[in-house]
Structure 1
Amino acid sequence: MTHSITPIGHILTPFTQKFSIPRQGLSLSCASGEIVFSEHIDIAQSLDGIEAFSHLWLLFLFHENLAQGYKTKVRPPRLGGNKKIGVFASRSSFRPNGIGMSVVKNLGMKGQRLQVQGVDLLSNTPIVDIKPYLPYADSVAQASAGFAQEKPKPPLTLKFSTQAAQKLVLHQACYPALTTLIHNTLSQDPRPSYKKHKQDNKIYFMQLYDIELSFCVMASTAEVIDIYPILT
């Protein structure tokens, strides 16, 4: 038996590449996003009453992974990227049906778009459903979570080169929350897990909105080297 799913819209976020996306949404991300609804959705009727809920579940498609299929065993970053476990014992994006879920903070409607915060989704990700978060039902006080029981602590401190600091001021005119977003993203160390306990001389590049920044990691410090607009 097969079923088809028609997205109800898509979400716009600062994340234009998968490399920079925080791994667990609201618990680790400060990024905001807005949901643009498809024409077949009656916004006034379908979202009536949603303002009563402080948080929402977003169900979405890992659209950039769908063509690659799924893996029965994956390497979770929290296990160092080396140990394999079953895909259903993980939150890997390589799943049989490519469906993800994430809790976000509800910031309300702005015009015809729903504003949310704490996103961990690539910009233009298809949204297939929205459900209210119910604290009494969705929060289980005595739940256990295997290898991901505790929220990870940010492993890196952050500094900016003189050049990057000067350019950051200019870009903040367009993106007031940019400094906070860069701190939030880089402090969690977006590099592959196997890089995190080795000497690493590589310069990395990360895209947020329509800008790109270069950075390197020395010991427990990430230094932003430069910031510049993405040329299209």
Structure 2
Amino acid sequence: MNTHDTPSPASASIALDIIGTVESCYPDKFGIPRQPGLAPQATARLRLDAPFGHRDCVRGLEHFSHLWITFIFHQSPERWTPLIRPPRLGGNHRIGVFASRSTHRPNRLGLSLVELAGIEYDPAPVLILRGHDLVDGTPVVDIKPYLPWADSADNARAGFAPEPPPRLDVRMSNECRQALEARHDGESLGALIREVLSQDPRPAYRRNRRDDRSYGVRLHDLDVRFHIETDTRGSGDRCESIVVVDALVPMA
């Protein structure tokens, strides 16, 4: 028998079923926190599809506070390279794709730890998620409960990302504050804007340099326009520390 006639497990193709789709507060990739949990006010609805949208599939899930969501980076290109440039390293250093959490992966699979805020039925189950990092329309392929005694390792090492990224100060214009006060969700939306922009969503190569550009991040039904102000310390060193929110523009 020719051993090449039988595919090895490593070369075999495996099909994955999409069990549901995410309805997210992030309409676009730009501005999404690079890890879950960094924007606790971020909310999403995971709508399960038939035949996975049966009540029995989520029976008992309400007893867990957090979930592992396995999903597909559907907006990332299918091509991948062995080396990538993580934004955390300023986009200047290359590391192996499997030493990163880059979206450009051989199988484009992502794993996100999210808070389960509730379950609704419409009539199929809809999971209410918080603190997520999922773009609108994300296809989900699996859900598992988070077990703190099994899924958290003591004395774990975190390589080139040993701690959360530093945050910038965020300042709202008077116009933005008034616009938020007029909304029923103004308080939570304002908190989400601060959480997202404090992480400086600009490309890594735009940081730590003079930047006169204006940017826009889409959150819920708004295009949030902002720019960076430079704060010069007494030593003369530049320190980009303030994100100024200029306008909240309804999306067309």
Q: TM-score, normalised by structure 1?
A: 0.94
Percent pairwise identity: 39
Aligned length: 228
Cross-structure match for 1:78: 88
For residue 27 of structure 1, report the CA deviation from its aligned partner: 4.2
Q: Which moved more, 1:72-81 or 1:25-34?
A: 25-34
The answer as to whether partners of 2:86 and 2:102 remain within 8 angstroms in 1 is yes
- Return the letter of the residue paired with 1:10: T
For residue 137 of structure 1, report the CA deviation from its aligned partner: 1.3
The answer as to whether partners of 1:187 and 1:222 remain within 8 angstroms in 2 is yes
Partners of 1:200 and 1:15 in 2: CA distance: 24
Cross-structure match for 1:195: 206
Aligned to 1:13, which of 21, 24, 29? 24
Partners of 2:212 and 2:98 in 1: CA distance: 35
Instruction: Confirm whether residue 180 of structure 1 aligns to residue 191 of structure 2.
Output: yes
Q: How far does the alpha carbon of each residue in 1:136-169 deviate from its partner, in whole angstroms, 9 at most, with x for none?
A: 2110011101101112231x11112222222222
Cross-structure match for 1:93: 103
For residue 29 of structure 1, report the CA deviation from its aligned partner: 4.2
Cross-structure match for 2:250: 229
RMSD: 1.4
Partners of 1:47 and 1:107 in 2: CA distance: 14
Distance 1:138 1:89, change over 3 A: same
* Unaligned ranges ≥5, structure 2: 1-11, 231-240
For residue 42 of structure 1, report the CA deviation from its aligned partner: 4.1
Cross-structure match for 2:177: 165
Instruction: Confirm whether residue 206 of structure 1 aligns to residue 217 of structure 2.
Output: yes
* Secondary structure of 1:56's aligned partner: strand
Bigger radius of gyration, 1 or 2?
2
- Return the letter of the residue paired with 2:90: G
Partners of 1:211 and 1:145 in 2: CA distance: 35
Distance 1:109 1:88, change over 3 A: same
The answer as to whether partners of 1:29 and 1:185 remain within 8 angstroms in 2 is no
Distance 1:130 1:173, change over 3 A: same
Cross-structure match for 1:124: 137
For residue 75 of structure 1, report the CA deviation from its aligned partner: 0.8
- Return the letter of the residue paired with 1:117: R
For residue 206 of structure 1, report the CA deviation from its aligned partner: 1.0
Partners of 1:45 and 1:7 in 2: CA distance: 18
Partners of 2:19 and 2:120 in 1: CA distance: 17
The answer as to whether partners of 1:167 and 1:228 remain within 8 angstroms in 2 is no
**Which structure has more helix as a fraction of its residues?**
1
Distance 1:190 1:42, change over 3 A: closer
The answer as to whether partners of 2:85 and 2:93 remain within 8 angstroms in 1 is yes
* Unaligned ranges ≥5, structure 1: none
Partners of 2:112 and 2:186 in 1: CA distance: 24
Partners of 2:45 and 2:204 in 1: CA distance: 30
Partners of 1:68 and 1:2 in 2: CA distance: 15
Residues 3-152 of structure 1 mapped to structure 2, 5 A cutoff: 3-65=14-76, 67-111=77-121, 112-152=125-165
Partners of 2:56 and 2:96 in 1: CA distance: 41
* Secondary structure of 2:37's aligned partner: helix
- Return the letter of the residue paired with 1:203: S
Distance 1:27 1:213, change over 3 A: closer
- Return the letter of the residue paired with 1:51: E
For residue 174 of structure 1, report the CA deviation from its aligned partner: 5.1
